[in-house]
């Protein structure tokens, strides 16, 4: 089983975690001003790269805290984990 | 001893079902993706519209992606009119497909049971049965005793974690031999003069204003009059090259087979609540599918915990399976859409046609989408049956919400 390194708890088994999709998708600053198209993009459209992807994870069966990770979607390798208040790390 | 050519003493090679062609410099239509949808589209372009200056480009080998990895369930008992339109059209084509292709596909209409385990499941299922009947799709609601009559090995006792409260039944549903389907379409397309090109990955597009003029591939540039994207889980890789945002997410979806067993399972059983779907292949393996792995992934493999959970559900529902052995597990990559319905039709490029978002249920649609996408390409206008499945619906809000309504994640 794949181990995922929670920034607070350290490496734990994958089944303890739940997935939160793409990271760094901010809520619109001025929601009332959005067009239908802009709303659609905020609600439905997410990046879907083959390769490095910055995404949200929750240690739901552990400390229950959210964090971000950079993971390769082709190999499933975690390249970095970081806290929500940290910027996306530069990966080699 | 004198040296001998290796293989010189082997029998002549049998007739090939299709030929591996070299790419030409230019085509009227380029289909990206040599899976079921791409091959079916090629077949119907030739058969229904006489368009044969066509190439099917496949980055791996023909029918080696989800076409080789799915659990082959074919049904049309979807809730909404739009869905039952396209899936029932497809099922009708399945019913004549052996004759059309002149090739055996082992299409077996053994029926599908979609189990209900909660009162809400029962209400949703009965509603779906009524909707199906109004759309001319065969459907029945069965109580647990009737379920047992059709499939005696289902555990209908009240003494399990999620008791079976009944099921919907579509007698015309069934399974087919997926490889034969791919080969049958490939053979007919090849006979019609369409080039099937393997080991040819699309790496870019050349454009002129709002038209695509050609595709760049690992085997050179190819000019084309129009392009159809039939790349399933890899759709985003292509649409990113074109700069077209498409709301699909690629997930691993796993399936497995048991060793060969005597016939024990006469139909197809799907269960939304406990997330397992099972049939028994002609050869005797139990074929089972799971739900998707939660994370985005292009790796054609998933977590073993998903298989474990699925096995727990299968053994609870079918106690007789407890002594069966797992033979193989594998994964494919499915492109899921926000409303669990496909995305087919126009793109911002006037000669690029999109066909994606079929998620976990694309196999059953193979002939249906092949015929309607071919029509769409030939007429430059979406076929009425795919017209509701536009990319724009995510902006207009005209979604076709099939989440859960049509049984297991398809």
DSSP code per residue over B10-47: SPPPPPPSS--PPP-SEEEEEEE--SHHHHHHHHHHHH
In B, minimum Cα distance to A39 occurs at B395
- Give pLDDT, residue A48: 98
DSSP code per residue over A50-87: SSEEEEEEE-TTTT--EEEEEEETTT--EEEEE-TTSP
Tokens coding B340: 């669990």
Does residue B392 sit at the A interface (CB-CB below 8 Å)?
no
- Distance between CA atoms of B207 and B94, rounded to whole angstroms? 37
DSSP code per residue over B323-338: G--EEEEEEEEEEE-T
The answer to whether residue B275 scores a pLDDT higher than 90 is: no
Residues making up chain B, counted from first to last: 410
Q: Is A38 helix (H, G, I), strand (E, B) or coil?
A: helix
Name the DSSP letter for residue B381.
S
Tell me the per-residue pLDDT of B126-175, one tens digit each, with 9 for 90 and over.
Answer: 999 999 999 999 999 999 999 999 999 999 998 898 999 999 999 999 99
- Give pLDDT, residue B2: 64
Closest chain B C-alpha to A85 CA, distance in angstroms: 22
- Distance between CA atoms of B405 and B124, rounded to whole angstroms? 7
- Distance between CA atoms of B254 and B292, rounded to whole angstroms? 7
Q: Do B297 and A19 touch (CB under 8 A)?
A: no
Residues forming a β-bridge with B302: none
Backbone angles phi, psi at B263, to 5 degrees: -60, 120
In B, minimum Cα distance to A15 occurs at B305
Contact list, A41 vs chain B (CB under 8 Å): 245
Does residue A40 sit at the B interface (CB-CB below 8 Å)?
yes
- Give pLDDT, residue B410: 41
Does residue A56 sit at the B interface (CB-CB below 8 Å)?
no
Kindly give the confidence (pLDDT) of every residue in chain A, 92 residues in length, as a single tens digit, with 9 standing for 90 and above: 799 999 999 999 999 999 999 999 999 999 999 999 999 999 999 999 999 999 999 999 999 999 999 999 999 999 999 999 999 998 76
Q: Is B348 buried (19+), middle (13-18) or exposed (0-12) by CB count in 10 A?
A: exposed
pTM for this model (two decimals): 0.95
Tell me the per-residue pLDDT of B279-330, one tens digit each, with 9 for 90 and over.
Answer: 999 999 999 998 899 999 999 999 999 999 899 999 999 999 999 999 999 9
Cα dihedral: A27, A33, A38, A42 (round 10): 20
CA atoms within 13 A on the CB side of B29: 32
Does residue B264 sit at the A interface (CB-CB below 8 Å)?
no
Tokens coding B245: 């945002």
Tokens coding B339: 């409303």
Name the DSSP letter for residue B80.
S
**Minimal CA–CA distance to B230: which of B60, B357, B133, B337?**
B357
Tokens coding A4: 């995922």
Q: Is residue B76 a contact partner of residue B131, using CB atoms and an 8 Å limit?
A: no
Q: Do B298 and A41 touch (CB under 8 A)?
A: no
Q: Is residue B344 a contact partner of residue B373, using CB atoms and an 8 Å limit?
A: yes
In A, minimum Cα distance to B394 occurs at A40
**Domains by residue range for chain A, with CATH:** 1-26+43-92 (3.30.2270.10)
Alpha carbon B377 to its chain centroid, in Å, reads: 20
Tell me the per-residue pLDDT of B34-82, one tens digit each, with 9 for 90 and over.
Answer: 999 999 999 999 999 999 999 999 999 999 999 999 999 999 999 999 9
> Nearest by CB to A50, which of B237, B246, B396?
B237
Backbone angles phi, psi at B87, to 5 degrees: -75, -35
CA torsion sign for B39, B42, B47, B53 is: negative
Query: In Å, what is the CA distance from B87 to each residue of B104, B362, B364?
Result: 21, 10, 7
The answer to whether residue B406 scores a pLDDT higher than 90 is: no
B276: part of which helix (H) or strand (E)?
A: strand B276-280
Q: Do A50 and B294 touch (CB under 8 A)?
A: no
Closest chain B C-alpha to A48 CA, distance in angstroms: 6
């Amino acid at each position: 089983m794949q181990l995922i390194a929670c920034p607070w708890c350290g490496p734990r088994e994958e089944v303890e975690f739940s997935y939160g999709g793409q990271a760094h998708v901010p809520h619109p600053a001025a929601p009332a001003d959005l067009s239908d198209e802009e709303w659609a993009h905020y609600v439905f459209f997410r990046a879907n790269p083959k390769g490095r992807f910055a995404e949200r994870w929750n240690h739901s069966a552990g400390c229950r805290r959210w964090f971000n990770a950079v993971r390769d979607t082709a190999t499933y390798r975690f390249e970095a984990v970081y806290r929500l208040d940290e910027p996306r790390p530069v990966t080699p | 001893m004198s040296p001998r050519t290796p293989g010189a003493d082997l029998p002549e090679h049998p007739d090939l079902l299709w030929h591996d062609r070299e790419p030409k410099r230019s085509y009227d239509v380029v289909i990206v993706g040599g899976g079921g949808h791409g091959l079916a589209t090629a077949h119907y372009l030739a058969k229904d519209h006489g368009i044969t200056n066509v190439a099917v480009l496949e980055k791996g080998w023909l029918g080696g992606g989800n076409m080789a990895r799915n659990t082959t369930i074919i049904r049309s008992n979807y809730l909404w009119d739009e869905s039952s339109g396209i899936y029932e059209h497809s099922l009708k084509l399945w019913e004549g497909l052996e004759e059309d292709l002149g090739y055996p596909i082992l299409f077996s209409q053994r029926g599908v049971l979609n189990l209900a385990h909660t009162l809400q499941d029962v209400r949703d299922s009965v509603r779906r049965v009524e909707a199906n009947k109004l759309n001319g799709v065969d459907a029945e609601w069965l109580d647990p005793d009737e379920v047992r009559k059709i499939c005696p090995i289902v555990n209908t006792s009240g003494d399990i974690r999620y008791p079976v409260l009944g099921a919907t039944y579509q007698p015309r549903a069934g399974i087919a031999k997926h490889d034969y389907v791919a080969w049958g379409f490939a053979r007919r397309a090849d006979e019609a003069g369409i080039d099937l090109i393997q080991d040819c990955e699309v790496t870019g597009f050349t454009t002129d204003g709002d038209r695509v003029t050609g595709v760049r591939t690992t085997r050179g540039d190819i000019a084309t009059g129009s392009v159809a994207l039939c790349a399933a889980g890899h759709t985003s890789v292509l649409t990113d090259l074109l700069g077209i945002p498409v709301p699909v997410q690629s997930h691993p979806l796993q399936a497995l087979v048991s060793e060969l067993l005597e016939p024990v399972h006469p139909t197809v059983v799907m269960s939304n609540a406990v997330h397992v779907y099972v049939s028994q292949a002609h050869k005797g393996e139990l074929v089972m599918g799971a739900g998707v792995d939660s994370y985005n992934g292009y790796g054609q493999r998933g977590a073993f915990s998903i298989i474990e959970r699925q096995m727990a559900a299968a053994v609870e529902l079918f106690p007789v399976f407890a002594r069966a052995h797992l033979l193989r597990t594998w994964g494919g990559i499915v492109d899921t859409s926000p409303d669990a319905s496909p995305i087919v039709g126009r793109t911002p490029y006037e000669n690029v046609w999109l066909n994606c978002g079929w998620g976990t249920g694309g196999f059953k649609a193979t002939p249906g989408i092949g015929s309607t996408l071919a029509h769409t390409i030939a007429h430059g206008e979406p076929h009425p049956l795919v017209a509701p499945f536009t990319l724009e619906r995510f902006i207009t809000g005209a979604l076709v919400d099939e989440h859960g309504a049509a049984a297991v994640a398809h």
